[in-house]
């Protein structure tokens, strides 16, 4: 894939070790970014789902429990059918980023000075991986045995993952147990507005519900401007997990469950008439707002490593990581500028474009959660093309796989891939088959390079051969579906709010019953 020795360095020589604090940086020459249409997530909550949602919530309080599986599992299963990428996307101006150099920075076991009251420095057993862009034509030059760095070059971090690694010893011996604690897209709001001026609103589920607030005079005011992204902020961070639509619904459900348990808790029930009046009156925020407070929020700034909430210069990066001054710690990789294949025109609201956008959105967080950084696979949901679908065995072909942390054996790699595939099938493919039909899918995913997706529905032969939807891992955060235009914001806010209203209505009616 790459001309230089990146493949060898990055894929085989990046074993994590608990003993040393190590930093490596790979900087790539500028790459073409194909024309891209961003499709924000759009809710289409139908009555079937709303009914299932409220039913699941109420079943948690049903005597004798629920025999149809856990409510969260039922909600998860139904959730896939209600979130779609928007039919009408926003065109992205990728040109400014075609002049910048993408980079990967991998920081093992960062040492933090005076991290506690003990006043001593402390090494964290973790790996931080940053992706981003360096705004310089020649950020690093190796000459006469020296590494010459463009000190003033601005560095934009677009994505960060942090994985904490626990070392455990059991009957199998000493094992490393990685756990991803952060997987965030970092977006500079001003850059975002430059490349897509109409995408100004945060569509994160908890933010959607905060548009409603109590005005103090007994009214609830809805102001969508509260969702407008803060252009004055240096960066915004979005948990990548929310790119998976089901995750958004799970987050809402959990928020509602907490709201319900708080509202229906014995201490709330038996506080007498005064509190009852109090809770219904002017002084409490609307139920939508209360639910939003119980929902998970985006990741906080990571306490170790670089602050993602500020713009750095290359000099700052090197100062924070003196190891980068070592020769070969920073590698400059010259890669071909142009793409090697035809790019899918993804502007029309066709089934292929909509669902390709969904795959590009939902797959990366699932792969990242398993530590997979690079993977190529083909998946055909119904290889026999049988018209009668009696759970046919899908055809799966794994061509290549790479991991971010551990040097796994072949058996472990396959086992991890199978687990991951199971999750992808549950979270994405099931919905795809149910709502759009059987398909043949080719995915060539690289977290820090081009990702190619070719989705061919078996009953639709209009997709030209050798055509792929192409995105770039470093640029990908800027195309997050969690930011959208005002039209989508109003649509989603109404849909989400309506669902919450129906659910909280049930909670409130149950609370009222408990007073009787």
Judged by CB under 8 A, which of 1, 20, 62, 223 binds another protein? 223
Query: Interaction with another protein in 273-302: which residues (CB under 8 A)?
Result: 280-282
- Beta carbons within 8 Å of 96's beta carbon, 6+ residues apart: 191, 194, 195
Task: Kindly state whether residue 505 participates in binding another protein, applying the rule CB under 8 A.
Answer: no
Task: Kindly state whether residue 55 participates in binding another protein, applying the rule CB under 8 A.
Answer: no
Measured from the CB atom, the residue of 50 and 314 that comes closer to another protein is 50
Task: Kindly state whether residue 509 participates in binding another protein, applying the rule CB under 8 A.
Answer: no
Q: CB 285 → another protein: shortest distance, Å?
A: 12
Task: Kindly state whether residue 51 participates in binding another protein, applying the rule CB under 8 A.
Answer: yes
* Residue where the block lists tokens 């039913």: 55
Report residue 376 as tokens: 């190529």
Judged by CB under 8 A, which of 48, 152, 328, 334 binds another protein? 48
Would you mind telling me the total number of residues written for the chain in this entry? 516
In terms of DSSP bridges, do strands 467-472 and 342-343 run parallel, antiparallel, or are they unpaired? parallel
At 125 the three-state DSSP class reads coil
The Cα-based distances of 469 to 37, 161, 209, 278, 460 in angstroms read: 10, 25, 33, 55, 17
* Residue where the block lists tokens 């940053």: 130
Measured from the CB atom, the residue of 158 and 287 that comes closer to another protein is 287
Q: How far apart are CA 444 and CA 11, in angstroms?
A: 16
Measured from the CB atom, the residue of 295 and 489 that comes closer to another protein is 489
Query: Interaction with another protein in 342-401: which residues (CB under 8 A)?
Result: 347-352, 354-355, 387-388
Q: CB 57 → another protein: shortest distance, Å?
A: 16
- Helix extents (H) in 117-179: none
Measured from the CB atom, the residue of 84 and 370 that comes closer to another protein is 84
The Cα-based distances of 117 to 122, 244, 305, 307 in angstroms read: 11, 39, 19, 21
The Cα-based distances of 37 to 66, 199, 468, 478 in angstroms read: 43, 12, 14, 12
Q: Return the range that interacts with another protein (CB under 8 A); candidates 217-225, 252-260, 393-401, 438-446.
A: 217-225
Q: How far apart are CA 181 and CA 161, in angstroms?
A: 8
Measured from the CB atom, the residue of 177 and 434 that comes closer to another protein is 434
Q: CB 342 → another protein: shortest distance, Å?
A: 18
Judged by CB under 8 A, which of 269, 329, 502, 510 binds another protein? 502
**Footprint of another protein on this chain (CB under 8 A)?**
37, 42-48, 50-51, 81, 84, 86-89, 212, 215, 218-225, 280-282, 347-352, 354-355, 387-388, 434-437, 457, 459-460, 462, 485-487, 489-491, 494-495, 497-499, 502
């Amino acid at each position: 894939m790459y001309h230089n020795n990146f493949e060898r360095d990055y894929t085989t020589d990046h074993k994590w070790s608990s003993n040393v604090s190590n930093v490596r940086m790979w900087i790539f020459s500028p790459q073409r970014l194909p024309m891209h249409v961003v499709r924000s997530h759009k809710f289409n909550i139908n009555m079937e789902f709303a009914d299932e949602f409220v039913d699941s919530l109420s079943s948690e309080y049903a005597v004798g429990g629920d025999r149809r599986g856990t409510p969260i599992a039922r909600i998860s299963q139904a959730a896939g059918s209600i979130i779609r990428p928007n039919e009408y996307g926003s065109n992205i101006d990728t040109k400014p980023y075609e002049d910048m150099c993408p980079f990967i920075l991998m920081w093992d076991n960062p040492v933090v000075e005076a991290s506690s009251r003990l006043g001593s420095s402390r090494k964290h057993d973790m790996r931080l991986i940053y992706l981003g862009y360096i705004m310089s034509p020649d950020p690093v030059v190796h000459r006469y045995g020296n590494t010459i760095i463009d000190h003033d070059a601005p560095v934009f971090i677009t994505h960060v993952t942090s994985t904490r690694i626990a070392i455990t010893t059991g009957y199998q011996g000493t094992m490393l147990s990685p756990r991803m604690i952060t997987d965030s897209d970092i977006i500079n709001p001003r850059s975002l507005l430059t490349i897509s001026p109409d995408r100004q609103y945060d569509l994160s589920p908890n933010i959607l519900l905060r548009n409603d607030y109590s005005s103090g005079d007994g009214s609830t005011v809805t102001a969508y401007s509260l969702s407008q992204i803060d252009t004055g902020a240096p960066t915004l961070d979005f948990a990548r997990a929310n790119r998976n639509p089901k995750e958004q619904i799970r987050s809402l459900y959990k928020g509602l469950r907490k709201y319900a348990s708080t509202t229906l808790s014995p201490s709330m029930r038996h506080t007498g008439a005064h509190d009852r009046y109090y809770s219904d009156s002017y002084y409490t925020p609307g139920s939508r707002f209360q639910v939003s407070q119980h929902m998970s929020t985006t990741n906080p700034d990571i306490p170790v490593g670089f602050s993602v909430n500020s713009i750095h210069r290359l000099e700052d990066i090197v100062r924070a990581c003196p190891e980068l001054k070592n020769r070969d710690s920073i590698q400059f990789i010259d890669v071909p500028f142009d793409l090697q294949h035809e790019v899918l025109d993804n502007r029309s609201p066709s089934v292929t474009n909509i669902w390709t956008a969904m795959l590009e959105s939902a797959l990366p967080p699932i792969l990242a959660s398993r530590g997979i950084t690079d993977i190529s696979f083909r998946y055909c949901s119904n290889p026999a093309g049988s018209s009668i679908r009696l759970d046919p065995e899908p055809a799966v072909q794994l061509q290549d796989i790479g991991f971010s942390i551990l040097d796994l054996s072949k058996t472990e790699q396959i086992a991890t891939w199978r687990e991951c595939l199971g999750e992808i099938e549950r979270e994405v493919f099931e919905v795809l088959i149910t709502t759009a039909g059987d398909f043949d899918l080719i995915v060539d995913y690289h977290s820090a390079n081009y990702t190619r997706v070719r989705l061919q529905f078996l009953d639709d032969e209009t997709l030209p051969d050798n055509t792929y939807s192409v995105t770039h891992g470093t640029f990908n955060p800027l195309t997050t579906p969690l930011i959208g235009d005002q039209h989508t914001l109003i649509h989603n806010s109404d849909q989400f709010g309506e669902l919450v209203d129906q659910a909280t209505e049930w909670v409130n009616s149950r609370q009222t019953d408990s007073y009787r």
